[in-house]
Amino acid sequence: MTDRYSVIGRPISHTKSPLIHGLFAEVTEQDITYGAIEGSLEGFTDQVLTFATEGGRGMNITAPFKLQAFELADLRSERATLARACNALKFEQGKIYAENFDGIGLLRDIQHNLQVPLVGRKVLLLGAGGAVRGALLPFLEAGPQCLVIANRDLDKAHALAAEVNDARVQVCAYPALQGQVFDVVINATSASLSSELPPIAEGLFQQALLAYELAYGKGLTPFLRLAQEAGVAHLADGVGMLVEQAAEAFEWWRGVRPETRPVIDRLTVPLV
């Protein structure tokens, strides 16, 4: 019997998830179907429960429903609990399980695909939203020297650091980045979605090994262009994170982890 999965979000027309999971199912010979559901702002909970009641096995959750999905779950992973959001649900024996694979997908892309280990590194995270929340635990487990969160809303960033309660996690305002240097700089703000640059200067990249843009498929964003002009060796957008978090969800659901490199290559947009 074919098992059903889906992604739900609003808007959803842009999603690559059905293509990604379809390719995963093909190479792993898993008998599944994977669809896309346009989420309702008022009826999201009913949509999820209906999908589960009708035999759905799992769902990926995208904006703006990650918090609602987390609240809906009966059981939540540590990663999802820290983020207070989830990007994957599993339905088993009448229970809803919540997971957050965004951070671990990002970490795997950086360390495995891009070959930039975080152990002993100084890492800068621009922004303090859900993506950063999801990344903190996996990143800390990778053994960096420090994780600095830069955000306009310092109270939000300090609250996040307090939840983690790890001395390696530091917080600063954007102006305080002046004169500091980092090994890895990750743009987790929404600036690139409107072709804008976060409030940072080129000097930030003086010793950087990697500049990573969470937005994907947008080519050379202002953030990546600034890093390129500063001479950063590795530039990357979020397509690898997208595929790696999908692979984590697929393994969680199906018990087999698909090869990700061919899918990343297929979806990659040149950074020009």
Which residues are designated catalytic? Answer: 66
Strands annotated E in the chain? 3-9, 32-38, 56-61, 75-76, 88-92, 95-99, 122-126, 146-150, 169-172, 184-187, 210-213, 234-236
Phi/psi at 32 (nearest 5 deg)? -135, 160
Neighbouring CB atoms inside 10 A of 2's CB total: 9
Q: Which residue has the tokens 């702002």?
A: 41
Write out the two tokens for 250. 């697929």
Partners of residue 267 on adjacent β-strands: none
Neighbouring CB atoms inside 10 A of 28's CB total: 16
Distance (Å, rounded) from C-alpha 95 to C-alpha 65?
Answer: 19
Helix ranges (DSSP H) in 54-129:
66-72, 78-83, 102-108
Write out the two tokens for 114. 């891009």
Q: Write down the number of H helices and E strands in the chain.
A: 10, 12
